[in-house]
Amino acid sequence: MATNRADSTLDLPLEVAELIIDESALAGDKDTLRNICLASKRYTPRCQQHLFHTIDLGDRCIPGGLYYRRLRTLLVRFPELGKLVRELRLVDTYVWDSEKEANWGWLIVEENLAGILAALPNLSAFSLRFNAETPAWPSFAAPLRHALIQLAQRPTMHAFALNRIARFPPSLLVTLVAGVRELELIDVAVQEFSPAAPLEVLLGVAAIATPVVVSLTLRAPKAGMLHVLRTILAAAPLPTLRRLRVAAVDHTDGAAALELWSLLHWGAHTITQIEWLPAVRPLTPATSPPAPIDFAILTRLASLQFLVNFHAPAPVFRHLLPVLAQVASGSHFHRLVIECMFVRPMELVARQRDWAALDGVLGTSAFHGVRDVVFVARKRSPPAALGDAAVVIGEMLPLARSRGVRISFDRNLD
């Protein structure tokens, strides 16, 4: 008996199909989303919402300039797709580009980028990253500089990130701090200035807008940039900062440490989440913050994230334990996140003495409010090793577990 093709076709209700589409998007499965688009035009709008939500010029092994030209051509042909883009990540070229010295310069001279930004009216997050060089802000094409400033001032913009830029004008930090709630400054250095100059002269503005930033990420921060940031933030009537993420601090830069300490003082009663991620090499341990930084002044701290290195020969938690002593007995502190630079099951098992030392601290009454200890690892670790590591970690810290502390392992840290 012949089977009617129409009778054998599964006709899913649109609501069910959209649930499948949304789950595929949550899993980051773009190939499945593309295939679903081909299955039926009914599913295309929902798939496109996810496929074009984030445009990242660094997510493929394609030179950034070529990737950008493909994006521009697509938006010219289908301008309606620009309304779907919520996050744009501009990258000079991909990290492993063997010809990056020749391929990176397009980004600072491409004047048509202003038009691309205008074609994305619903952007809420933006990042600009250089992998090949660290260009100076004045070397950017004037239309691009103007477009980036306007972008930071959009009412819809809540997250803004800059990566590897030199001679950044202090006055533009005012625009960023007053315009976005989540700000990332990765290896950004400001123009030279005199710290003794009046505020208006230092920033080149007549008045300071009220900062709205609640999350601040700083990597390899220099004293000059920290001084400008602290000056801008201190001009606000009330602190707004809730989350501070600091990475790769130069421990030999005493001026930067003092500026960070001043920044912590400013947010001492509002910061609830701190992440300290020092620069670490394979055989060197992660270190605690340099003096005079002391997290004990953070009266509302609820979550601490710290980087450790199981691969280094030194005791794993040697620098974490003094930091925990600083936040002990905090009435709000309830979550400890330990980021592991390397996750190798055999190394985890071999560090029994280190585990016992951490368990002995977390098991004391000073940490009675701690409810979660989360170990995290980056996705670059082999999946098999991550699975075995989850089993090993689940059996560690018995004293803390006996007090009701949840010990978990998150293998999906970006």
Considering the domain boundaries, does residue 388 fall inside one? yes
Q: Grade residue 26 by pLDDT with cuts at 50, 70 and 90.
A: confident
Contact 402, 365 (CB under 8 A): no
Contact 65, 102 (CB under 8 A): no
Element at 303 (helix H, strand E): strand 303-308
pLDDT at residue number 29: 79
Q: What is the pLDDT of residues 230-240, one digit of tens each?
A: 888 887 778 88
Nearest to 248 by CA among 305, 160, 186: 186
> Any idea which of 242-246, 259-263, 376-380 has the lowest mean pLDDT?
376-380
pLDDT on residue 235: 78
Instruction: For 304-340, write each residue's pLDDT tens digit.
Output: 999 998 888 889 999 999 999 999 877 899 999 999 8
Residue 376 lies inside a defined structural domain of this protein:
yes
The encoded tokens of residue 258 equal 């003092």
Query: CA–CA distance from 217 to each of 4, 14, 136, 169 (Å)?
Result: 60, 41, 21, 18
Q: Is the confidence at residue 363, as pLDDT, over 70?
A: yes
Task: Give the model's pLDDT for residue 1.
Answer: 44
* pLDDT (mean) for 54-75: 90
Burial 274-294 (b: 16+ CB within 10 A, else e): bbbbbebeeeebbebbbeebe
Check whether 21 has a pLDDT greater than 90: no
Residue 57 located in a structural domain = no
Structure tokens at 382: 């082999």
**3-state SS of 102-171?**
HHCCHHHHCCCHHHHHHCCCCCCEEEEECCCCCCEHHHCCHHHHHHHHHHHCCCCCCEEEEEEEEEECHH
For residues 14 and 17, give the distance between their C-alpha atoms in angstroms, rounded to a whole number: 5
Percent of the chain past pLDDT 90, that is, above it, reads 55
pLDDT tens digit sequence for 112-154? 888 899 999 999 999 999 999 999 999 999 999 999 999 999 9
* Mean pLDDT, the chain, integer: 87
**Mean pLDDT within 165-184:** 91
Q: Mean pLDDT throughout 73-78? A: 93
From residue 329, how far is each of 39, 335, 369 by CA, in Å?
A: 58, 13, 8
Indicate whether 129 belongs to any domain: no
User: Are the beta carbons of 373 and 362 closer than 8 angstroms?
Assistant: yes
Q: Is the confidence at residue 395, as pLDDT, over 80?
A: yes
Q: pLDDT tier at 412 (50, 70, 90 boundaries)? A: low
Tokens of 181: 């709630």
Rounded Cα–Cα distance for residues 61 and 59 (Å)? 7
Does the pLDDT value for residue 195 go beyond 80? Answer: no
Please tell me the total count of domains within the chain. Answer: 2
Q: Which of 36, 19, 158, 183 shows the shortest CA–CA distance to 86?
A: 158
Closest CA to 397 of 361, 371, 352, 359: 359
Q: pLDDT value at position 383?
A: 74
Q: Confirm whether 260 is domain-assigned.
A: no
Integer Cα distance of 104 and 93 in angstroms: 6
Is residue 70 assigned to a domain?
Answer: no
In a domain, 393, yes or no: yes
Among residues 224, 175, 184, 227, the alpha carbon closest in space to that of 204 is found at 175
Per residue in 200-212, pLDDT tens?
Answer: 555 554 456 678 8
pLDDT at 3: 47
Residue 77: count of CB within 10 angstroms of its CB: 8
Give residue 22's identity as a one-letter amino acid code.
D
Pick from 316-325, 339-348, 377-386: least confident: 377-386
Model confidence band, residue 8 (pLDDT cutoffs 50, 70, 90): very low
Summarised one tens digit per residue, pLDDT across range 263-310 is: 999 999 999 999 998 866 665 667 889 889 999 999 999 999 999 988
User: Cα–chain-centroid distance for residue 374?
Assistant: 18
Higher-confidence residue of 253 and 14: namely 253
What domain range is 374 assigned to? 308-414
**Percentage with pLDDT > 70 across the chain:** 90
What's the whole-model pTM score?
0.89
pLDDT at position 208: 62
Average pLDDT over residues 170-194: 89
Helix, strand or coil for residue 414? coil
> What is the reported pLDDT for 378?
66
The span from the CA of 355 to the CA of 135, in Å, is 45
| Position 380 in a domain | yes
The region of weakest confidence among 12-21, 121-130, 155-164, 218-227 is 12-21
